Amino acid sequence: MLNGTIGVIQHVAFEGLDGFAGPLERGGYRISAVNAADGIPETMGYEDLLIVLGGPISANDVEVYPFLGDELRLISRRLERDLPTLGICLGAQLIAKAAGARIYPQAVKEFGFAPIETIDPKTASCLSVFDQDPMAFHWHGEMFDLPDGAVRLARSGHCENQAFSIGRTAVGFQFHPEATGDGIEHWLVGHAAELAAAGVDPRTIRRDAARYSGEMRLKSAAVISAWLDGSGVGETG
């Protein structure tokens, strides 16, 4: 597993690897990150692991943001080749869409902290840290149907599909397991208009981020470490 390569696709600067970064760096992985708005390099997609991060646009907005089409094609190729691929928020929606699932607005937008429910410890081992401590960080207004052949890993009160896996090589998280609470002010400023439209007070999220930051750091490290252990990343055949 050591010394593998990881490609990272970002959509906004303040939504990065966050708590995933430390375990990956300590594992000796070589990380190459690009911002999707700058274009997806032709060389991307051949890494041992691809991580597609979140962003404030819809996976359905391919005509408005053509780079999303490039991402969908890249993800489709990786799914066809059974290559480890991890998506968060928009990234999870792109994996679901590439796998043929529908993406659509959620009745209640989720911003801030709320618990998730893990479905089956045997299939959701990467989320076992949430079994007894279910509080998670959310930031999304859309959701997806479960792709054919996928396994639901977690749900919440407003979102039936909070996490899913396809085989052991692809996983999508609608919530943000990578978030640690560090840099929360960038989220609050970057999404100020969205919060105002939803009637969400940023001071509440700020307080909760301070309250939960310690456990968020532990959870983010546990999730990425557990998933890497079971994903086949870095294995040679």
**Domains of the chain, start order:** 5-231 (3.40.50.880)
Rounded to 5°, angle at Cα 168 from 114 and 155? 20
Burial class (CB within 10 angstroms; exposed 0-12, middle 13-18, buried 19+) of 121: exposed
**Mean pLDDT, residues 96-113 taken together:** 95
pLDDT bin (cut points 50, 70, 90) of residue 123 is low
Round to whole Å and give the CA distance between 80 and 116.
Answer: 30
Q: Could you tell me which of 52, 50, 54, 4 has the C-alpha nearest to residue 26?
A: 4
Tokens of 156: 């919440």
- Write the pLDDT tens digit of every residue in 181-210: 999 999 999 999 999 999 999 999 999 999
Tokens of 161: 């599909």
Round to whole Å and give the CA distance between 26 and 212.
Answer: 24
**Mean pLDDT, residues 51-71 taken together:** 97
More confident residue, 186 or 132: 186
